Structure 1
Amino acid sequence: MQHWKDIAGRGARLVIVLFCVVVLTFSMVHLIPGDPARTIAGAQADQSAVDIVRKEFGLDRPLLEQFTSYVGGIFQGDFGMSFKTRQPVADIIVQKLAPTLSLTLAAVILIAIFGVLIGLVSGIVSARQRPGFDVAFSSITGALAAMPHYLTATFLVFLFAVTWKVFPVAGAAGFTALILPAIAVSLRPTMMVARVIRVRTLEVLEQSYVRTAWSKRTRPSRVYVRHVLPNAAPAGLALGGTLFASLIGGAVVVEIVFARPGLGTELIQSVISGDYPVVQGITLVLGTSVVIVNMLIDVLIGVFDPQAKEA
């Protein structure tokens, strides 16, 4: 019963947060200085043309009516119409979603594999009292975790695409065009996960059940795979929400550097051109995905760590 109450509570919080996201995205058009209708019609348009545009996009209606229409449209998958192209925003998002989704999934896979692996191995080495290794690990991972996404992406482009010509400089055609962007997006989160799992690995290696396994002369590979890894790896989930938000933000920046035709590139172009419905739609989709993933991670933490759930 308590389990279902926890889920219901998280669901209620999810609804509240999503409502706040919707309100904030709706407010974008009305908080930005200037007249959206004038922006659409153009600086040289006369007042009658501006009025026609204002009526076409419903900007002449009362604010509450606009908000109600906006929310109703969201439930129907209608995010409005682009100011610039007169194309449905939902269609634009669908067209640009695949490159961003593939980049995000690739980055998540890299984080899950290398973050856990580096953290586990470094924890095992640190447990053998290697102070020099500890200093090197902390210095390297700390520096990489602090490096901005755009700087990582620029360095990778210069080294592997421009200098050595191993990978494409830009675009989203083919698997090879995905490798450098995925590394650029995942590098910081990978280092953060590795640092957390290293600490957790050191704690697990001190537990009585691990010492018992060693006393029974269990093979090291079996101890690490059966006892250490399952108890150390879930520690990365605690960072999940922060990492996913960073992942989304990193993907937006990296797509610009690599000229990937995804949501990030479209978002920046729409901000520059003042195409606010597109900015609203993409922001809403990205923000909603972060909120939902945060809730799922919260549930998973409760499943894997009952103490965290009780807290």
Structure 2
Amino acid sequence: MTAAISRTHWDSPWLGFAVRRAGRLLVSLWVLITAAFLMIHVIPGDPVRAALGPSASVQLVEARRAALGLNDPLWLQYLNYLGDLLTLDMRSSMVSGLPVAQVIGDRLPATLELAGYAAALAFAVAIPLGAGMAVLTRGGRRRPAELGFTATSAVLAVVPEFLLAVGLIYVFGVRLAWLPVAGRDGFDSYILPVLALMIAPGAVLARIMRVEMLAVFEADHVRTARAKRLPQWLITLRHVLPNALTATVTVGGLLLGALVAGTVLVENVFAWPGLGSTIVQSILAKDYPVVQGVVLVYGLGVLLINLAVDVLLAVLDPRSTIRES
């Protein structure tokens, strides 16, 4: 009996799901770390000379190369790099001399705030908007409202974040002078960059939510619920909305990954003191240790978002292939 209980425990779909996702996360993380390590080696020329400039002495260049371990064999550099990451040591900036972990720690909260507020607002607006439009336009009703919604959301979905940012700055910062256009100082300074980040993904999520709800409205189990003469609001909340959320969350996870990358452009437009502006400044200054560290943080953020979406999908739909495959 004990053996049967143990076998049942090991055959749990949740355990298999956890093992698969953990293995996939580790492999993806290894690929990310390896790519970040190789970044400094695929750059033409001497990265240290490029960072220090042509006027730097040979002795200074050689000392910096030795400090970075660039004179060691490639395999030894890779092992040392992995060992440093295990101790959260990301080396030091070539420009400021500060530890890369400190630079990232100082700038990361600003980026997390910006991306977090934009993601929360995108979901908070898109899900009820898409669901409401599905209810209003179901069965071909209110055709003008449907055309207006689809046309507007399609246009907003394809406009790049930096163009939205420039447009918002011109309208609300320059013409109307209602909101600040740069910096991170007070509640008002968050409004424009958050809107610039959330408008495009919010438009896509609203379209997906509407399409999925319209499809679920025609499903057999919803027809059965109507045949039982259940109230329409109960059918929508209990039978339609949960099923439509599955696809919306899937697409939302992909959009959140793109949103994290979008912070790079938006932060530079609004002079936001986050990782996005830091990585651009580091690329221009050829500060490769900082670039490597920021790339790792952005990549890890995308991997964790994908993992969170997979877990949420498994919770929302326990019968899905995420747990059974």
Distance verdict in 2 for CA 1:212–1:41, change over 3 Å: closer
For the Cα contact (< 8 Å) 1:154–1:257, is it kept in 2? yes
User: What is residue 7 of structure 2 aligned with on the other side?
Assistant: none
Structure 2: distance between partners of 1:183 and 1:58: 44
User: What is residue 171 of structure 1 aligned with on the other side?
Assistant: 183
**Which one of 70, 87, 91 corresponds to residue 76 of structure 1?**
87
CA shift at 1:50, angstroms? 1.7
Structure 2: distance between partners of 1:56 and 1:42: 17
**TM-score, length-scaled by structure 2:** 0.90
SS at match of 1:31: coil
CA shift at 1:3, angstroms? 2.1
Structure 2: distance between partners of 1:128 and 1:165: 44
For the Cα contact (< 8 Å) 1:80–1:277, is it kept in 2? yes
User: What is residue 119 of structure 1 aligned with on the other side?
Assistant: 130
User: What is residue 4 of structure 2 aligned with on the other side?
Assistant: none
CA shift at 1:219, angstroms? 4.9
SS at match of 1:165: coil
Aligned partner letter, 1:240:
G
Tell me whether 280-289 or 235-244 shows the greater mean CA deviation: 235-244
User: What is residue 303 of structure 2 aligned with on the other side?
Assistant: 291
For the Cα contact (< 8 Å) 2:181–2:192, is it kept in 1? no
Structure 2: distance between partners of 1:301 and 1:226: 17
User: What is residue 18 of structure 2 aligned with on the other side?
Assistant: 7
Tell me whether 177-186 or 300-309 shows the greater mean CA deviation: 300-309
**Which one of 35, 47, 52 corresponds to residue 46 of structure 2?**
35
Structure 2: distance between partners of 1:216 and 1:299: 33
CA shift at 1:15, angstroms? 0.6
**TM-score, length-scaled by structure 1:** 0.94
Measured against aligned partners, the alpha-carbon deviations of 1:66-94 in whole angstroms (never above 9, x if no partner) come to 11111111111111110001100000001
**Which one of 198, 206, 209 corresponds to residue 197 of structure 1?**
209
User: What is residue 18 of structure 1 aligned with on the other side?
Assistant: 29
Measured against aligned partners, the alpha-carbon deviations of 1:87-127 in whole angstroms (never above 9, x if no partner) come to 00000001001110001110111111111011101111220
Structure 2: distance between partners of 1:132 and 1:40: 58
User: What is residue 97 of structure 1 aligned with on the other side?
Assistant: 108
For the Cα contact (< 8 Å) 1:267–1:279, is it kept in 2? yes
**Which one of 304, 307, 311 corresponds to residue 320 of structure 2?**
307
CA shift at 1:64, angstroms? 1.4
User: What is residue 45 of structure 1 aligned with on the other side?
Assistant: 56
Structure 1 gap ranges (5+): none
Structure 2: distance between partners of 1:195 and 1:308: 24
Tell me whether 296-305 or 210-219 shows the greater mean CA deviation: 210-219
CA shift at 1:215, angstroms? 5.6
Structure 2: distance between partners of 1:128 and 1:167: 42
User: What is residue 61 of structure 1 aligned with on the other side?
Assistant: 72
Matched, 1:266 2:275: no
RMSD: 1.8
User: What is residue 160 of structure 2 aligned with on the other side?
Assistant: 148
SS at match of 1:127: helix
Aligned partner letter, 2:174:
V
Structure 1: distance between partners of 2:266 and 2:60: 39
Structure 2: distance between partners of 1:281 and 1:227: 45
Aligned partner letter, 2:19:
A
For the Cα contact (< 8 Å) 1:301–1:308, is it kept in 2? no
Structure 2: distance between partners of 1:14 and 1:300: 16
Aligned partner letter, 2:290:
V
Aligned partner letter, 1:90:
A
User: What is residue 8 of structure 2 aligned with on the other side?
Assistant: none
User: What is residue 96 of structure 2 aligned with on the other side?
Assistant: 85
CA shift at 1:209, angstroms? 4.8
For the Cα contact (< 8 Å) 1:40–1:53, is it kept in 2? no
CA shift at 1:169, angstroms? 0.9
Aligned partner letter, 1:19:
W
Structure 2: distance between partners of 1:178 and 1:275: 29
Tell me whether 209-218 or 147-156 shows the greater mean CA deviation: 209-218
User: What is residue 196 of structure 2 aligned with on the other side?
Assistant: 184
